[in-house]
Amino acid sequence: MPIIKSVRGYSPILAQDCWVAENATLVGDVVVGNKSSIWFQAVIRGDVNSIRIGDQVNIQDGAVLHCTYNKSVTLIGDRVSVGHNAIVHGCIIESDVLIGMGAIVMDHAFIPSRVIVGAGALIPEGMILESGFVYAGVPAKKLKPIDPEKFDFFIRRTADNYQMYAGWLD
């Protein structure tokens, strides 16, 4: 059973049809939307501020979601994939986004819809990305526009696949 802890009067709220791995941890002011999945060893700490996760989001193995006390919340839209070992901290990520494996997104960064953040990228504090592009590097830079076919393959297909994978484990 996952570790689900209350703190400061807040308890995680999970949609009935989301899937959470047995060794995932959810703490405090966390809300997880419909058809979302929280994978093995993921940590979602809403102990110091709120974290909102939309529908059909997958938080993959070892990812960490957190925020900063009295400074930043973490908001994630629908159909977002947060890759293995990524860190998402006190930022806003709109719908239809892929955050690559090991990427770091810092406080007050803004990632609009239709963005791919490459594996290992660093999105610095306060950085505002532009919709429709791939970003990569440390610090991240805009690399190229997202081809419409790649959008469906990398963003929509990943969200759909993780919903399917979670169904295998029920």
Residues 63, 71: Cα–Cα separation, whole Å: 21
Angle value at C-alpha 59, between 62 and 50, nearest 5 degrees: 100
Smallest CA-to-CA distance from 66 within 82, 79, 55, 80 is with 82
Smallest CA-to-CA distance from 54 within 24, 97, 117 is with 97
Which tens digit of pLDDT belongs to each residue from 87-127? 999 999 999 999 999 999 999 999 999 999 999 999 999 99
Query: Is residue 170 pLDDT above 80, yes or no?
Result: no
Residues 2, 146: Cα–Cα separation, whole Å: 36
CATH number for the domain harbouring residue 49? 2.160.10.10
At 149 the pLDDT is 83
DSSP code, position 20: E
State which amino acid sits at residue 82.
Answer: V
Residue 146 lies in domain: 3-168
Tokens of 10: 């807040």
96 backbone φψ class: left, alpha, beta (φ>0; ψ -120 to 50):
left
Residues 126, 145: Cα–Cα separation, whole Å: 22
Number of domains in the chain: 1
At 150 the pLDDT is 84
Which tens digit of pLDDT belongs to each residue from 42-85? 999 999 999 999 999 999 999 999 999 999 999 999 999 999 99
At 47 the pLDDT is 98
At 7 the pLDDT is 97
Q: Which is it for the CA torsion 79, 143, 107, 46, positive or negative? A: positive
